[in-house]
A = this chain, B = another copy of it.
Amino acid sequence: MADHNALPLVILAEKFASLPGIGMKSAQRLAYHIMSMDEESVRDFAKALIDAKNNVHSCKCCQNLTEKDICPICGDDERDASVICVVEGPKDVTAFERTREYNGVYHVLHGLLSPMDGITPDKLRIRELLARISAGSVEEVIMATNPTVEGDATAMYVAGLLKPMGIKVTRLAFGLPVGGILEYADEITLFKALENRNDM
Contact = CB atoms under 8 A, between A and B. Distances in A.
A27 to B, nearest CB: 11
12 contacts: A2-B97, A4-B64, A4-B97, A9-B52, A12-B49, A15-B44, A21-B30, A34-B49, A35-B90, A42-B52, A46-B49, A46-B50
A5 interface: yes
A67 interface: yes
Contacts of A91: 28-29, 32
Contacts of A1: 94
Interface string A106-128: 00000000000000000000000
User: A30, A53, A71, A98 — which one has the most chain B CB atoms within 10 A of its CB?
Assistant: A53
Interface of A: 1-9, 11-12, 15, 19-21, 26, 28-35, 37, 39, 42-56, 64-68, 71-73, 89-91, 93-94, 97-98
10 tightest CB-CB pairs across the interface, nearest first?
Answer: A46-B46, A42-B53, A12-B52, A6-B67, A8-B52, A8-B51, A12-B48, A46-B49, A6-B56, A15-B48
Nearest to A3: B72
- Work out how many copies of this chain go into the complex: 2
B11 A21 contact: no
A63 to B, nearest CB: 12
A32 B95 CA distance: 14
A19 B91 CA distance: 21
A43 B50 contact: yes
B56 A35 contact: yes
Contact of A8 (B20, B35, B55): B55
B19 A33 contact: yes
A119 to B, nearest CB: 13
